[in-house]
Amino acid sequence: MGDFWIILTGSLVAASCGILGCFLILRKMALIGDAISHSVLPGIAIAYLISGSRDSFLMLLGAAVFGLITVFLIQLLQRGGLQGDASIGIVFTALFAIGVILISRNASNIDLDLDCVLFGEIAYVQWDTLILNGYDMGPAAVWMLGGTLLVVLAAVGLFYKQFKLCAFDPALAAAVGIPVALFHYLLMGLVSLSTVASFESVGAILVVGMLIVPASTAYLLTDRLSTMLVYSVILGVLCSAGGYYAAKWIDTSIAGSMITVAGILFLLAFIFSPLHGLVARFAKRRRLKRVPMPLN
Instruction: Place 112 in a pLDDT band, splitting at 50, 70 and 90.
Output: low
Residue 120 has pLDDT above 90, yes or no: no
Count how many residues are written for the chain. 296
- Give pTM, 2 decimals: 0.85
Half-sphere exposure of 77 (CA within 13 A, CB side): 16
pLDDT at 189: 82
Instruction: Place 129 in a pLDDT band, splitting at 50, 70 and 90.
Output: confident
Residue 86 has pLDDT above 60, yes or no: yes
Name which of 45-54, 117-126, 168-177 the model is least confident about: 117-126
Summarised one tens digit per residue, pLDDT across range 199-227 is: 667 777 788 888 899 999 999 999 899 99
Q: Measuring CA to CA, which residue among 275, 211, 204 is closest to residue 239?
A: 211
The contacts of residue 72 (CB under 8 Å, 6+ apart) are none
pLDDT at 170: 85
pLDDT at 95: 85
Q: Measuring CA to CA, which residue among 235, 206, 265, 233 is closest to residue 6?
A: 206
H-helix segments, the chain = 2-26, 32-39, 41-51, 56-79, 84-105, 114-119, 140-158, 160-168, 170-175, 180-202, 204-221, 225-250, 254-272, 278-290
Contact predicate 20/211, CB 8 Å: yes
As a whole number of angstroms, the distance between CA 111 and CA 90 comes to: 28
Better pLDDT: 113 or 78: 78
Q: Determine what percent of the chain is predicted with pLDDT higher than 90.
A: 24
Residue 235 has pLDDT above 90, yes or no: yes
pLDDT at 168: 87
Q: Report helix, strand or coil for 130.
A: strand
Residue 152 has pLDDT above 90, yes or no: yes
Highest-scoring range by mean pLDDT, 175-184, 229-238, 280-289: 229-238
CA distances from 265 to 176, 215, 234, 255, 281 (A): 39, 11, 12, 16, 19
Contact predicate 214/18, CB 8 Å: yes
Q: Measuring CA to CA, which residue among 19, 204, 20 is closest to residue 117?
A: 204
Angle between helices 32-39 and 41-51 (to 10 degrees): 20
Residue 266 has pLDDT above 90, yes or no: yes
- Written as one letter, the residue type at 56 is S
Over 247-260, what HEC string results? Answer: HHHHCCCHHHHHHH
Angle between helices 2-26 and 254-272 (to 10 degrees): 50
As a whole number of angstroms, the distance between CA 190 and CA 103 comes to: 27
As a whole number of angstroms, the distance between CA 180 and CA 147 comes to: 26
Contact predicate 216/229, CB 8 Å: no
Contact predicate 106/50, CB 8 Å: no
List the beta bridge partners of residue 139. Answer: 129
Average pLDDT, the chain: 81
pLDDT at 1: 59
pLDDT at 28: 82
